[in-house]
Structure 1
């Protein structure tokens, strides 16, 4: 009786299956009197149907017409909905084999007929107690499993949060940092989409700087902007409120801004990225399940967002300091070049320019005596020597003054269309007498009319200097040849990988003394003094090639030297033909496929005067990290240096306003090819 007192029979339902109405009625009445809810069936088929209601226990007669009790029990145990219901057989069979068979098919006990009420109640109570305890154990086990799963999930969240936090705080490059953030959060937490949106400097828009998702289609584009004036946007709402926002069901949320690229978004958690009162942007996380974010998960992610905001600010400070260091290095380099130019200038004034005056002064001093005592032929020779000395001095002084004007920015860059052949022919005629006086063959091999776009005066100066140098360092009986050819093969310069018919190559070749390999690199460096005399002791300053290099690069070309000591030298430079770069459905580029691979790039039909190579490098690095604000600032600064740079600066500023970083990168890479 102690066992029965533990159970409230009214809570239990008993199914009785017996083909004998008398037995069925007696047992049912007794059990109902005890408080049980009783269901009854007259045969096995009926019993199986009623058992789907899942009674707490079944009393099952063995000997029945149709299917017997053993078969009924076997079928009950084969179905998931009824296999846990305890079955007690009622039978007159007493053989051991019958009892064993009953246990084998799933029965838990036997009651032998004739039925004794007290025995029935005792056996029912025992097995109900066992069943209740089993259910309690199952419920406890389920609760333990749920608690364990919750603890495991919590541990995984904390572990993932810690790992993400450690990773992001160790990265100083902003682009790498943002990409690592979205990859780690999406992979560690398994979200449908993760994006980092950063506010512009004016706080008038938020820009998608990094994103990662498991959508089957394309993700929202990098650089996508949402104006802060957009009324229905969770992202802009969080930017203004500086408070996290959770939408458990975006379909019913009028603040949700739907995106075609994220069709499976069901819930969204958007967290502010801020340090103190400084709002940086938002961390946007989207799930493909309704109510995908519980309270604890929100807390973990908000803590993570706070770490991310600090990491972004640190990365920005690092980038700012890096740019400052680069600018300081450039300024230091420019200052070193200025000092080298100053030293070069004083060296020339003190030595190289003074030297040619000595023979001029000596000859002029001898001239009065020679006139009185010498023949006309001797006087003519002395006069010619004086003329040559004066001419050398003049050439040295002309180069010196031209170079000085370049250094001070006094030479105006005025590119225009002209026939390159005319300049070559003019200089061959001008310097022909000088070549003939040394018994040197001077000739030019020219093809059809070649129109180029450059500063005519600068190119004229370059060609004159190169021919003059070739004549100077070629002995009597030698040759100097000038030629113009379209570029048909890559130049021997690492940074110039692709060229096409839009460029032309000019070369000046001589059969002179040549240059030692170790001296070739010295020719274009202002900080290395390298000056030699010609085959007739002609003086030089070492400025000629340095000035030519600056002028050619100013016109977007390259210049280099090929020489074999004792056999001769060839100086080559490139120029752009007079053609306008355009972009259409089949873009044509003067730099191979650079433009063709970026159809969105639009280059105006005008030629831009470029700033220094170092300035372009800085702008390129800013574009690579997506810092459009700094590009605006740097471009404006360049425009103030020289009004010739204004069109170049305006082009970049316009692209930066539209956040077309990829187009800016492509454009600057083109300029880098022609400005180094």
Structure 2
């Protein structure tokens, strides 16, 4: 526009009114109306100039003529309303058009009011003042709305943080398994805060912090990582936390002096670490990393400190629960062991009393008959009865030996002394001991063991095992049968025991095979069980204690081996047991 068309009242604080009219006379009238009002007046003679002046001056109100050359008032108003910088400025049309259709068109273009020509001074001033007040009130209301929105957002954020804290509290106080607790914590915090990494470090006994739980695929790969925290350890945030027991915020870890680089986190920017403290002693740290610089707000840090306090208590509770659980299990195990031991003891003494009655009955009956008829007995009859008494006494002694052996094992008083022992030497002692018994039944007793085989075992225990097995084999083998003792070396297999005294090397499998009466399938199921009493007379009515095989099982297992039987009624039996080879 022509510069002569711009006239201003210079008061930078006064409201600005843009007056747009292509008629200079109308402009003068309006300006005259407001010459003493204190307003700053900006004049435009056409629509294009009005748009420019509105953009540069930012008026508080626009008086706009409708009928102008070029852009008419309707189009100018529409452009005002389509521009973010001017769309909120109230527009009052000045026009001689009085039709309802024109007014509606003006309102649709964005006008707030109409002033009809010819102008009425009081009406023009009143409408301008009224709409300036309305605009001011609207502006104030918008600012208040913004403040309210900000306050609402802040309250919402605070409520959300409190909700997170409550949720974390509910979750962690309901979990007593430590590993599950730590996993749930890092997963929950990451999902609620959107952190790149959440980890929990726990203090170990070797002056290090160990990463026990971490979120995300990158974090899970680092579980078990250690950060040293001793006096001579490298500088790190975790070490600083352990020493100061105070939270630490690294707003930009790329420049932070305490940052201890861990490979997946080299692209991250902010880290906040909170100590986990119980009773004034640090037990670990809650570690959070995110990809933005200076990301942790004051509210975030306060909330995370609260959550860290909850986590500390939860970890302590989980540890106490685990300790209590372990103690309870130990007590239950001991109670069960005592119950089983008492049951075994009761069963053992039941077997003992039952088996002791038979030889004593024989002793008493035979001795009584011998005493009553001593004068009428010849030497052969006395010799036979004396043999019966000797056999009964021998059986009783064997029973007492087994009782004492079992008692020492149960009370832990039987020393276990594994050492290098020649197997043939042990078998040879048994061979000599039972050679006479075998000869009486014309049984062929064979020792097929190799003198080069050495075992790593308690010699006395293995000797007792072989004696029991060979004694049983002779007892249940009929006249002119055969009992064979042999041994083979074999590699360890799945299921074989690996005792502490000899975890490596091969096993020696000792076999005692007979051509005796054999054992039924049912009977084989409880040969080595104390809770089932099973005893049988031998083929020559030899007495048994019923305890020998039970002792064999306990002693073989004590030496790191296993015992089993293969048998068929009428076809003999083979007892096999393993012991470690001496390496």
Do both proteins adopt the same fold according to a TM-score greater than 0.5, normalized to the shorter chain? yes
Decide whether the 8 Å contact of 1:531 with 1:541 is kept in 2: no
Q: Deviations over 1:476-522 (max 9, x none)?
A: 799989998989998799xxxxxxx99898887886243647x9458
Give the whole-Å Cα distance in 1 for the aligned partners of 2:53 and 2:510: 103
Aligned twin of 2:419: 414
Choose which of 454, 457, 462 in structure 2 pairs with 1:455.
457
Aligned twin of 1:194: 198
Choose which of 305, 309, 316 in structure 2 pairs with 1:306.
309
Q: Deviations over 1:250-274 (max 9, x none)?
A: 4454233343333565444433333
Q: Deviations over 1:57-91 (max 9, x none)?
A: 44444345555443343344345454333333344
Q: CA deviation at 1:299?
A: 3.9
Aligned twin of 2:219: 218
Q: CA deviation at 1:123?
A: 3.5
**Change beyond 3 A, Cα 1:441–1:177:** farther
Choose which of 82, 87, 91 in structure 1 pairs with 2:91.
87
Give the whole-Å Cα distance in 1 for the aligned partners of 2:559 and 2:234: 51
Aligned twin of 1:146: 150
Aligned twin of 2:533: 530
Q: CA deviation at 1:351?
A: 7.3
Give the whole-Å Cα distance in 1 for the aligned partners of 2:492 and 2:105: 97
Give the whole-Å Cα distance in 2 for the aligned partners of 1:435 and 1:44: 135
Give the whole-Å Cα distance in 1 for the aligned partners of 2:132 and 2:447: 116
Q: How does 1:225-374 map to 2 (within 5 A)?
A: 225-229=226-230, 230=233, 232-263=235-266, 265-331=268-334, 352=355
Q: Please give the secondary structure, in 1, of the residue aligned with 2:275.
A: strand
Decide whether the 8 Å contact of 1:529 with 1:542 is kept in 2: no
**Change beyond 3 A, Cα 1:126–1:312:** same
Q: Please give the secondary structure, in 1, of the residue aligned with 2:264.
A: coil
- Residue 136 (1) aligns with residue 130 (2): no
**Change beyond 3 A, Cα 1:290–1:342:** same
Choose which of 542, 548, 551 in structure 2 pairs with 1:544.
548
Structure 1 unaligned blocks of 5 or more: 1-7, 494-500, 580-676
Q: CA deviation at 1:422?
A: 11
Q: CA deviation at 1:104?
A: 1.5
- Residue 62 (1) aligns with residue 100 (2): no
**Change beyond 3 A, Cα 1:324–1:490:** closer
Structure 2 unaligned blocks of 5 or more: 1-10, 498-504
Give the whole-Å Cα distance in 1 for the aligned partners of 2:470 and 2:130: 119
**Change beyond 3 A, Cα 1:191–1:36:** farther
Q: CA deviation at 1:27?
A: 6.1
Q: CA deviation at 1:194?
A: 3.3
Give the whole-Å Cα distance in 2 for the aligned partners of 1:114 and 1:439: 152
Give the whole-Å Cα distance in 2 for the aligned partners of 1:200 and 1:279: 11
Q: Deviations over 1:161-181 (max 9, x none)?
A: 234334434444433433343
Which protein has the larger Cα radius of gyration, Structure 1 or Structure 2?
Answer: 2
**Change beyond 3 A, Cα 1:344–1:73:** same
Decide whether the 8 Å contact of 1:62 with 1:90 is kept in 2: yes
- Residue 127 (1) aligns with residue 128 (2): no
Give the whole-Å Cα distance in 2 for the aligned partners of 1:80 and 1:465: 106
**Change beyond 3 A, Cα 1:162–1:408:** same
Question: Could you tell me the TM-score, scaled by structure 2's length?
Answer: 0.70
Q: How does 1:551-562 map to 2 (within 5 A)?
A: 551-559=555-563
Q: Please give the secondary structure, in 2, of the residue aligned with 1:261.
A: helix
Q: CA deviation at 1:138?
A: 1.9
Q: How does 1:35-50 map to 2 (within 5 A)?
A: 35-36=38-39, 44=47, 48=51
**Change beyond 3 A, Cα 1:560–1:101:** farther
Q: Please give the secondary structure, in 2, of the residue aligned with 1:195.
A: strand
